[in-house]
Structure 1
Amino acid sequence: MPTANAALVDRENLRTGVDAALGRHVARLREEAERISPEAGALVDAVERMVAGGKRLRAAFCYWSWRAHGGTPGDGREQGVLRAGAALELFQAAALFHDDVMDDSSTRRGLPTAHRVFADEHAGSGRRGEPRRFGDGVAILLGDLALIASDEEMTRALAGLPVSVAQAAHSVFSSMRTEVTVGQYLDLVAQTMPWGTADDDERRAREVVRAKSARYSVEHPIVLGAALAGADDAAVAGCRAVGLPLGEAFQLRDDLLGVLGDPATTGKPAGDDLREGKRTVLVARALAHATAAGDDAAVALLQRGVGDPDLDAAGVAELTDLLVRTGAVADVEQIIEELWAQTLTQIEARDWPEPARGTLVELAHAAVRRTA
């Protein structure tokens, strides 16, 4: 979310409340881990660094959906909603720890990724064994710790709620975690597949977008907020109608930023998604256009360059130029605009009160128009 929009997640002390819940959880984790062994403090430090850097976007969608469905600031349920937001942030941290290992990413939010930090520490201390394997192993454990933490925080969030409300909210949270895991698997599978037909490549890319990111980034947090407010099935269905197109637009913007974004703003090196071989809608569209135009050289460049871990700055620039020149970037921008229009239409169909409606529109705009 652009810095100019950071105040959106400060409204009604949302960020303060979520950060306080995260701080309490990290403190409990530190006490427990260091009781087991003083050496475990490094694990907690890494978890703390990861959760400190989030935009709190998912927590904001959850909170303001709760407000849109009758939640009142300062009432007995507000702390539970803020804790649910903290649980979403902890789950995101778990996903990022694991995702960075699977993608072998070098930076996250402008800082070295956890597996690289621990690998470098291993190499610098003269320990036995392979530094990379050590770093990867620690990062996997960090993801597991954050996953456990997210479950614990959600359990606390639901304590004391009516059984039906707690069950509905827990069902949303469970489905989200399963779907993200399956989506990550589909992403890994996609990167191993040979290039197919244009329709197959884009279908697979859109499938990954929905399962791995769109629902977990936007749809499920909005639905979770409604569930915590005790919303009925019709209201929940309305949340899904808003959240899915917005979540897709959010991820498609992320795909564009992964290629065209300013590394100083995104916190990731330019071209990382290309080196990692991400089978995005952007790449699928470029390949489709190059194939349709009979541009064999462009097709060969895409198939050779996307997924090349040794791609240098010149190679990234060449591929980026091709993505623009084929019209793929313009296509994805158009898809984002269409999804944005669907989102606004669905929000207009909801009878959400102010200030929740206006804030959710602003959050949606920030998610789609962001530069990081």
Structure 2
Amino acid sequence: MSTSRIRKEVDAALLAFVDRQRPALLAISPDLAPMLAALDALLTGGKRLRPAFCYWGWHAAGGRDRRDGIVAAAASLELLQASALIHDDVMDSSDTRRGQPSVHRRFQSLAREQDWSGATETFGEGTAILLGDLCLAWSSEMYETSGVDGEHIARGREVYNLMRTEVMCGQYLDLLEGVRGSGTVEAALRVVEFKSAKYTIERPLHLGAALAGGTPEVTAALREYGRPLGIAFQLRDDVLGVFGDPAETGKPAGDDLREGKRTVLIAQTLERASPAQAAVLERLLGDPGLDRAGVDELREIIEGTGGLAACEAMIDRYAENAAKALGDASISGESRIALEELAVAATTRQA
């Protein structure tokens, strides 16, 4: 089965799950309709990478003969992702997500349009937190009711629980670096690993393998492939956050600079910057009012110091390590081809 077919099936499973939940929410109150609309809008976007890695981890581990429920179980990761994105946008004060207003901004606008008397900012942020919590609860419900047999659901539950713990810890480390500003590559890589790399690729692969009843050897092989690929994926995302096309990223150009993200790209730049360049970077990074001229100035510093080239070299190195691990693994046929294609999709997105 092709990866594009998996994506279509994941889309259908998500739509069906949310549609099953819809009557219960609207029975509580019609006032919940805007929350469902916000979730519908968010779920229409995304590359579905996590479900894809979960599915092909399952396939590689020998689950291809017991397909019942695997797509729904994999699709539940999109609800977990929705929860993380909604909360992340609140913490980063992001205005947009996937080319549309972030959830908290959407509800702030709703309150202003309705001329409600309360604090619109608090309402928007509170609603986003609640919708993110609802997505987190629904991710577990969708997983548990996916239709995968109980023995394999139980095996996967341990991975699912660990993944959720790791991403929350990674998010805290990201916040910590933002306020502490240590600026080291080592600290930034620790955030990359736990906030994104494991959660995006390594753990979904492990979840799929667990759902298939995979052997420890297959799980280890998927780890050797997934961990470096996950790091390369996030490093590419960091580059796109500064140099990416808004039409591709769904966010304004240089948004990561306005948010003050202490990424590996920034750490590599600071390691190579002159005192004057470092002073400019520290002054402008995290300025929510940073204009196009300021973005261009920071881009010039990042390129001129060699920070961008160093980050690109890291992406290439981690991607090569992932390719080598997959080449050495006893994974063959359709699974290998799909994992090779996913590695390219994860690391060569256009700037």
Q: TM-score range by the shorter chain?
A: over 0.9
Q: CA deviation at 1:128?
A: 1.3
Unpaired segments of 5 or more residues in structure 2? none
Q: Which runs of 4+ in 1 moved over 6 A?
A: none
Picking from 174, 189, 195, the partner of 1:206 is 189
The whole-number CA distance in structure 2 between the counterparts of 1:203 and 1:146 is: 32
- Give the CA deviation at 1:79: 3.4
User: 1: distance between equivalents of 2:193 and 2:63?
Assistant: 28
User: Residue 310 of structure 1: which of 276, 289, 292 is its match?
Assistant: 289
Q: Report if aligned partners of 2:73, 2:148 keep a CA contact under 8 Å in 1.
A: no
2:3 matched residue in structure 1: 9
Residue 209 (structure 2) aligns with: 226
User: Which of 252, 256, 259 does residue 235 from structure 2 map onto?
Assistant: 252
Amino acid of the residue matched to residue 183 of structure 1?
A: G
Question: TM-score under structure 2 normalisation?
Answer: 0.97
1:358 matched to 2:347? The reply is no
The equivalences for 1:171-210 within 5 A come to 171-195=158-182, 201-210=184-193
Deviations 1:201-254 (A, max 9, x none): 211100000000000000011111111111112211111111100000000000
In the TM superposition, what is the alpha-carbon distance from 1:312 to its structure 2 partner? 1.2
Q: Distance in 2 between matches of 1:172 and 1:318?
A: 43
Q: Write the distance in 1 (CA, Å) between the matches of 2:309 and 2:186.
A: 18
Q: Secondary structure at the match of 2:146?
A: helix
Once the two structures are TM-superposed, the CA of residue 159 in structure 1 deviates from its matched residue by 4.8
**Counterpart-to-counterpart distance in 1, 2:317 and 2:338:** 21
- Partners of 1:87 and 1:139 in 2: CA distance: 19
Report the AA paired with residue 170 of structure 1.
R
Corresponding residue for residue 113 of structure 2: 124
**Map of 1:272 onto structure 2:** 255
Give the partner amino acid of 1:140.
Answer: I
Query: Do the aligned partners of residues 298 and 8 (structure 1) sit closer, same or farther apart at CA in structure 2, a change above 3 Å counting?
Result: farther
Pairing partner for 2:125 from 128, 136, 144: 136
CA distance in 2, matches of 1:78, 1:102: 38
Indicate conservation of the 8 Å contact 2:268/2:307, yes or no.
yes
Q: How many residues align?
A: 351
Equivalent of 1:348 in 327, 343, 347: 327
User: Contact 2:3–2:338 at 8 Å: present in 1 too?
Assistant: no
- Matching residue within 278, 285, 289 for 1:299: 278
RMSD: 1.4
The CA deviation at 1:158 is 5.9
Residue 20 of structure 2: aligned partner: 28
Identity fraction in percent:
47
User: Per-residue displacement from partner, 1:320-355 (whole Å, max 9, x unpaired)?
Assistant: 110000000000000011101100110011111211
Q: Find the partner of 2:140 among 151, 172, 177.
A: 151
Tell me, yes or no, if the aligned pair for 1:283 and 1:323 is still in contact at 8 Å: yes
SS at match of 1:115: helix
Alpha-carbon offset, residue 21 of structure 1: 1.5
For residues 305 and 110 of structure 2, what CA distance do their matches in structure 1 show? 44
Deviations 1:342-372 (CA, angstroms, capped at 9, x unpaired): 0011001111121110111011111100127
